[in-house]
Chains A and B, each alone.
Chain A
Amino acid sequence: MRCNILLLAALGLTAAAPPPSGGFGRPATPAEIAAADIDVRADGAGLPPGHGSVAEGSALFASACAACHGDQGQKPLTGLLRLTGGRGTLATANPVQTVGSYWPYATTLFDYIRRAMPFPAPGSLSDDQVYALTAYVLRLNDIVPDGTELDAATLPKVRMPNRDGFVPNPDDAH
């Protein structure tokens, strides 16, 4: 009798125990995490091995990107914003927000091209190709010189012109 009560109490405790006792889901394996973990942070965390140059990016851009974004990023198709230009316009009556004039981090360019471009075939570029395209788009914006080669060490060091152009919304406390 006494035993039973103790047993019931123990069972009750088990049932009321908070997660992780639910045990739903299964441990994620290092391999599946590595495969899914594609984001790149502003400090460069997440950048993969590999490298690419402005020259390689230039050739690739002409074949894989220019049809939509325009030759050298100029004159994109209707409905697309320009990838270049606009420096010095943000505080004017006609601001032009581009990678060069607006984006605060160069790493975002790598992350976005790798996850979403080219628009008709996302995920089709090698990491070397993404480094090369990143270098080329930065070159088009006069942010890096000709001859630049980018990798996981150098890309986070690229300082974007509008790096200090953002403030957290004061009305959204978090």
Chain B
Amino acid sequence: MPDKADTGISRRRMLRRTGFALAGVSSAAPSARAAAADLPPWMLEQGAPVSENPYGVPSPFEKSVVRITGGKQPFPTSAHMLTPLQDLDGIITPNGLHYVRDHGGTPAIDPDRHRLLVHGMVDRPLSFGMDDLTRFPSVSRIHFLECSGNTPLYKSGKPDWSVQMTHGLVSCAEWTGVRLSDVLAEAGVQPGAAWMLAEGADAAALTRSIPVAKALDDAILAYAQNGERLRPEQGYPLRLLLPGYEGNTCVKWLRRLKLGDQPFQTREETSKYTSLMPDGIARQFNFTMEAKSVITRPSPGCGPKQPGFCEISGLAWSGHGRVVRVEVSTDGGAIWRDAALQDPVLPKCLTRFRLPWTWDGGPALLQSRTTDEKGEVQPTRERLLAARGTHYYYHYNAINTWRLAPGGEVTLAL
């Protein structure tokens, strides 16, 4: 087989170089030359060596598909990057495009020197190296991760904000690691231990208190993401993964778990990640990310180029479990139609929805509304603001509206 291919190539080269045909193919020669002239250039020479990229990279023509920052970030190590949802298909976020939020930069941790300490209200305080943790039975699950600050629209938003700007702090990956309940069983959680402090090994030494019930339910100590070891900005070599909980609780670069009988009242669960209600009282321990969906195409920057068939496609998710329904409206919420849900539909996971639509070229208001298996229906913006006011800051999950103008331009409408 290789011989044959080689012959073909050298013949074509010869044709190009010498301009005349070989004996025996002379009758086909003029048309072969013409065809060669019409072929795209990448068919007329060898491509890049197979081993050019030991770790592959996207096509250079996909250069614009990158994470971006949301506006000016004066402290580059306490900052975030948003996932380009408008450019992605399916439900899995490629590792290089997973959203990031750090409070003290991304540390470069040597896995051989990283340890996890489990102590506090346990029978046997234990210290684990990465080799110890990977000896445990492993588990892989596909879950979304969403920053509770995603979709900063309580007060206002700009019409030209893309879906990356409004919803890009959600991503989804297959996480592999060890069940936290297995690790805690080794240490022996004592009766009365109701809370678990999780601490990161970054410059922020970020800490959150987690209910032990959640730790023993479906929590994972993850060391891999979409098949490869975690990316540094996702917590390499070890992170906590609490399916459905706000991203900040899924502590990266995990170094310590301490069991206690009450929450530890850290800065990230008092000053931050708490939500002020209109009466001046703040809600604390807002863990679960509520039912939410957004149309990713059409969306700002990705409007239809001409009237006619236009697939409406987007993502839905809920920290309570599975998405059971997504409805789409093209007239600002007067008429709703059920969208098709793409398999797999998994609990606490992004779900891709689609609706075939024929755009008549006129103005339209595109919305999606999801319902989760708990029965929670994604609220309208009016309902959300009436319940929470405009200083709640986190956990915005209202129905999103894209305004489609007759020229095909799409903008954010509030």
Contact = CB atoms under 8 A, between A and B. Distances in A.
Interface in A70-111: 77-80, 90-92, 95, 97, 99, 102-105, 107-108, 111
B12 interface: no
Contacts of A119: 75, 78, 104
Interface string B254-281: 0110101010111100110011101111
Given A33-B119, A102-B282, A116 B266 contact: no
A87 to B, nearest CB: 11
Interface in A33-51: 33, 36-39, 41-43
Contacts, number: 158
A56 B285 CA distance: 35
Contacts of A168: 283-285
A19 B186 CA distance: 5
A108 B286 contact: no
B211 interface: yes
A92 to B, nearest CB: 8
A73 B96 CA distance: 38
Contacts of A18: 185
A115 B204 contact: yes
Contact of A169 (B207, B262, B283): B283
Contact of B265 (A41, A79, A92): A41
A39 B284 contact: no
Given A37-B258, A169-B287, A42 B265 contact: yes
B360 interface: no
A39 B117 contact: no
Contacts of A174: 211, 213-214, 285, 287
B188 A20 contact: yes
B113 interface: no
Interface in A122-165: 122, 165
Interface in B64-105: 72-75, 78, 103-104
A29 B185 CA distance: 19
Given A20-B186, A33-B119, A171-B288, A111 B266 contact: yes
Chain A contact residues (Cβ within 8 angstroms of B): what range? 35 or more
Contact of A91 (B125, B275, B279, B286): B279
B287 A116 contact: no
A27 interface: yes
Given A108-B266, A172-B286, A95 B391 contact: yes
Contacts of A28: 117-119, 125-127
Interface stretch (B128-136, B301-309, B332-340, B378-386): B128-136
22 contacts: A19-B182, A19-B185, A20-B188, A24-B132, A25-B129, A26-B127, A27-B124, A33-B119, A39-B264, A41-B264, A41-B265, A42-B262, A95-B276, A102-B282, A111-B267, A122-B104, A165-B281, A171-B290, A172-B287, A172-B288, A174-B211, A174-B285
Interface of B: 72-75, 78, 103-104, 117-119, 124-129, 132-133, 135-136, 182, 185-186, 188, 197, 199, 203-205, 207, 211, 213-214, 255-256, 258, 260, 262, 264-267, 270-271, 274-276, 278-288, 290, 391
